[in-house]
Chain A
Amino acid sequence: MDFSFSRAHEMVRNMVREYAEKEVGPKVESYSQEGDEFPYETLKRCAELGLIGLIIPKKYGGNEMGYLARMIAIEEISKVYASLGANLRGWGLVPYMITVAGTEEQKQKYLPAFCKGEIQGSIATTEATSGSDFGSFPVSYKKDGDDYIINCRKVMISRATVSDVFGMMVRGEKGYTCFLIEKRMPGVQTGHREKLISTLSRNSPLGDVALTNCRVPKSQVVGEEGKGLGPALSTIGFVGRTGGAGICLGVAESSFDIAVKYSKERIVYGKPLHDLQSLKFMLADMAVRVECSKLLCYQVSWLQDQGKKPVELNRETSMSKLFASESAVNNTLKAIEILGGYGTAPEFGLIQRMKTALDMIAAAGSNNVLRRNVGDAAVA
């Protein structure tokens, strides 16, 4: 069993870490001011560095370095600025959907622009009635000649107001179909920004995408009509979920690092804080969570790079996000506790990390849905 990274993976980690620490790190505090917009200039920079094209074929502007490289990139960025990690994850979802299920025309039209950071997209599946229970979605489109007329409202959509293209799963008479909906199409409206704490942390404007008698040509269907579940669920589960795991790994790790540093520097009763056994036990538990999250995250990415299909990795993707997100919340909470009065001070960035960690409990399959996946696999 070889646990070492390839030299190229190590170099990618060093490069992303340097980018995050030198270019992003000094601005994080100002980025995190409430009410401001996410710094979308980072999208261009991430694209320049090749971080959006990690799982996109070279033929369409990506670099195909793979899922492990993507996990490392999201982890390293999230250690410094989890909101950017969350967006880096999000920017890759629609391109993935097009890569696995899109037509040649769609690939040529969209993928190079995504990889260059010229456009951004969002996956839009959740409706007002439900997120994971898509069986309750109402029938929302009908065919009209070669076109489709869609009427639906998607809610809780990441970057709803800033994305150019939505990978949207809609229910029709023949089942679920995935469409590429461009924001500029007549009948598309975005808005109703949710006031969740994550949005206040400039994470990603979460809101609604409403389609009213929106006429969509056949050329915008991803995959086959009525067979949209596969592309949508594999995008959310295979890429979105593992990306979420990577964000949480970065948060769990950096919260632990902050706690360790503080416990060495803070002197209480004439000794470093960590000399208190109860505190050292907390650090030990945090370290175990970090290492276990790493093992789950790197393992699932490695399996993805071995060519395993989404359906074969439902258990592993579920375990990685489930464990890493709970580790991120727990480690950040413990770090806040260890820092005492400074735990919620903006300069330590723990609250900003906690906001993203809480976000990830529900994203890409809520943790209880993931528990069901893992449990189903256990008794299968």
Chain B
Amino acid sequence: MPLEIFVCVKQTPHPEHFSKISLDPATGSIQRAGIPSVMNPLDKNAVEEALRIREKFSGKVTAISMGPPQAKEVLEEAYAMGVDEGVLLCDSTFAGADTLATAYTLAQAIQKLGRFDLILCGNESIDGATGQVGPQLAEFLGIPHITYVTRLEFQGEREALATREIEYGYLKVKFRLPAAVTVLKSINQYRLPTVMDIMQAAGKEVKTWNCEETGGEKTCLGLEGSPTRVAGLVALQTKRKREILKGSEEEIARMAVKRLHEYGVI
């Protein structure tokens, strides 16, 4: 049976322009005006893995994203890479969603879109970097999840061996489909679309679902459905501290080592 693979993709600020992102001192919100957006880099690895699995076993790859109308752009990027369908969940009701409400919304849509065998996500996004959406989505769908995956080897169509990166090495996990997998950069080298791929993608339609079409309890969506709130944002400030050490060479060396210990550097 052909595999039904879903890849969750997110639009994030372009990493090259991170230095231009600022915080509004009055509201504490992130100012992204004028910052170009791209597909979250790890999501590209997830799309690539999905395409490779489809190339091996046949099936369908659907890229899905939740976001404002301009998030359509990441689905166009996914089309250019080679996915079969792009779905955008777009409604003002979804605004302000935390990771739980986001995962809930994605789960509603995926269930409504039909059968699913494998859900692939980037391990985390470069902006929020929580790493929570993939596992939460798996919980909503009632399927196992494997995170921090650096290698995925299929042993037949319905069974696979995942290599997870853990603190002191690697953990191999055998699992059966359906399942959700979140991937790290080292899992593959994602493909660049060709000019022809891009031209063909530009003409493809992105299926856009609003709140009603997506389904689900309204109390679980967007800000209302989010049990967490960002209480505040503080810009990281790096300040250099200068201290002139005086004494003989040996004394200076000892003082320098002591200071480095005090500051936790060594």
Contacts and interface: CB of A to CB of B under 8 A. Distances in A.
Contact of A50 (B73, B196, B201, B202): B196
Given A6-B202, A8-B199, A8-B202, A14 B194 contact: no
A65 B192 contact: no
A195 interface: no
Nearest to B196: A63
A48 B201 contact: no
Contacts of B194: 48-50, 63
B193 A15 contact: yes
B35 interface: no
Contacts of A370: none
A19 B192 contact: yes
Interface string A15-26: 100110000000
A11 B202 contact: yes
A170 interface: no
A53 B195 contact: yes
A20 to B, nearest CB: 11
A7 B195 contact: no
Contact of A65 (B38, B76, B195): B195
Given A50-B194, A69-B195, A14 B38 contact: yes
Contacts of B193: 11, 15
A12 B201 CA distance: 11
A219 B198 CA distance: 36
Nearest to A19: B192
Contact of A49 (B38, B73, B192): B192
A317 B196 CA distance: 27
A12 B195 CA distance: 6
Given A6-B202, A8-B199, A65-B199, A15 B192 contact: yes
Nearest to A73: B195
Contacts of B124: none
A260 to B, nearest CB: 12
B80 interface: yes
Interface residues of A, number: 18
Contacts of B198: 8, 11-12, 15
A11 B76 CA distance: 9
B202 A49 contact: no
A379 to B, nearest CB: 41
Contacts of B77: 11
Contact of B76 (A7, A54, A63, A69): A7
A50 B199 CA distance: 11
Interface residues of B, number: 14
A11 B201 contact: yes
A91 to B, nearest CB: 14
Nearest to A47: B194
A60 to B, nearest CB: 14
Contacts of B199: 8, 63, 65
Nearest to B203: A8
A54 B73 contact: no
Contacts of B80: 11, 15
A51 B197 CA distance: 12
Interface in B186-237: 192-196, 198-199, 201-202
Interface string B63-102: 0000000000100110010000000000000000000000
Contacts of A54: 195
A69 to B, nearest CB: 7
A246 B118 CA distance: 44
Contacts of A18: 192
A156 to B, nearest CB: 31
Contacts of A11: 76-77, 80, 193, 198, 201-202
Contacts of B38: 14
A15 B199 CA distance: 12
A301 to B, nearest CB: 15
Interface in A45-83: 48-51, 53-54, 63, 65, 69
Interface in B144-198: 192-196, 198
Contact of A63 (B73, B192, B195): B195
B228 to A, nearest CB: 33
B18 to A, nearest CB: 14
A15 B196 CA distance: 12
Contacts of A48: 194
Contacts of A50: 194-196
B83 to A, nearest CB: 14
A6 B199 CA distance: 11
Contacts of B73: 7
Contacts of A65: 195, 199
A224 B76 CA distance: 45
Contacts of A51: 195
A19 B193 CA distance: 10
Contacts of A15: 80, 192-193, 195, 198
- With a 10 A CB-CB cut-off, give which of A8, A11, A49, A54 has the most chain B CB atoms: A11
Nearest to B76: A7
A6 B73 CA distance: 12
Contacts of A49: 192, 194-195
Interface in A18-41: 18-19
Nearest to A51: B195
Interface of A: 6-8, 11-12, 14-15, 18-19, 48-51, 53-54, 63, 65, 69
16 contacts: A8-B199, A8-B201, A8-B202, A11-B198, A12-B195, A12-B198, A15-B193, A15-B198, A19-B192, A48-B194, A49-B195, A50-B194, A50-B195, A54-B195, A63-B196, A69-B195
Given A8-B198, A63-B196, 8 more contacts: A7-B76, A8-B199, A11-B198, A11-B202, A49-B195, A53-B195, A65-B199, A69-B195
7 cross-chain pairs, A with B, having the tightest CB-CB distances, nearest first: A50-B195, A8-B202, A50-B194, A11-B198, A63-B196, A63-B195, A49-B194
